[in-house]
Amino acid sequence: MAGGTYIRIEGIEELLAGLTRLEQMQRVKDEVQASGILLQSKLQNYPKKANVGNPLIRSDDRVRRGFFWHLKHGDISVPYNRSYTLQSKWTSQPRKGGWEAVVGNNAPEYKHLVQGSRQTFQHRTSGWLTVVGAVDTYGPQIQARIRSALEKEVANVG
C-alpha cells in the first residue's frame, strides 16, 4: 500500500508459537498417558498372600469333590503358586492421538473373579484392587493432574 499505515505487532512470532503449542496440548496428552500408566501400575500390584479358606469346600459336597478332582489332575496346587499372569497382562495404550489412555487386561477369563465385577469373597478379603476400585481411588487424583497440566499449558501461551 503506497502511503498506507502499517501496524507492527511486537512478539507476534512468540505468540504464534505459543498458540501452536496450545493447539497441540502435548503437556495434557503426556499427563493423560502418564495417568494411564499410573492406573496400570496400581492394578498390577499383587496383595500379600492371604490364607482365606473357601467355605464352600467345607459346606458343599459338589465343590469339595470338584476341588479334589482338580487337585488330583494337577489343575490346581495347594498351596496355590502365583503365576503373575494378571500382572504381566495389564497394559496402557494411547488412543485418539494421545487424548485417551486405554488401560486393559487380556488375561484369561478368571480376571473378572480377581479384579472385576464378579470378584470373589476370597480375592476381596485378601486385598485385590478391582478396576472400579482403582478408578474410584485414583480418578480424582488423575483428574486434578490433567487439569493442572491444562492450566500450565494455557499459562505458557503468552
Structure confidence at residue 81 (pLDDT)? 76
Residue 100's φ and ψ, nearest 5 degrees, are -130, 150
Q: Verify that 77 and 145 share a domain, yes or no.
A: no
The answer to whether residues 126 and 114 belong to one domain is yes
Domain shared by 94 and 122, yes or no: yes
Sign of the dihedral through C-alpha 31, 36, 41, 43: positive
Looking at the fold, whether 73 and 140 belong to one and the same domain comes out as: no
Please spell the DSSP secondary structure of 143-154, one letter per residue. HHHHHHHHHHHH
pLDDT value, residue 74: 86
33 shares a domain with 108: yes
pLDDT tens for the chain, residues 1 to 158: 566 777 667 776 776 666 666 667 888 999 999 999 999 999 999 998 777 667 777 788 888 888 889 889 988 877 777 888 889 999 999 999 999 999 999 887 889 999 999 998 888 988 999 999 999 999 999 999 999 998 888 887 65
Residues 75 and 121 in one domain: no
Task: Identify whether 1 is part of a domain.
Answer: no
Q: How many domains does the chain have?
A: 2
95, 60: one domain = no
Does one domain contain both 40 and 101? yes
Do 75 and 136 have their domain in common?
no
Pair 93, 101: CB distance under 8 Å: yes
Instruction: Extract the C-alpha cell encoding 156.
Output: 505458557
Number of neighbouring beta carbons within 10 Å of residue 144: 10
**Domain check: are 77 and 88 in the same one?**
no
Domain with 64, as residue range(s), is: 51-81
Cβ atoms of 112 and 123 closer than 8 Å: no
Model pLDDT, residue 158: 58
- Per-residue CA distances from 25 to 63, 85, 121, 135, 141 (Å): 55, 36, 44, 24, 20
- Do 67 and 141 share a domain, yes or no? no
pLDDT of residue 34: 97
> Do 89 and 76 have their domain in common?
no
The answer to whether residue 42 sits within a structural domain is: yes
Whole-number pLDDT of residue 2: 61
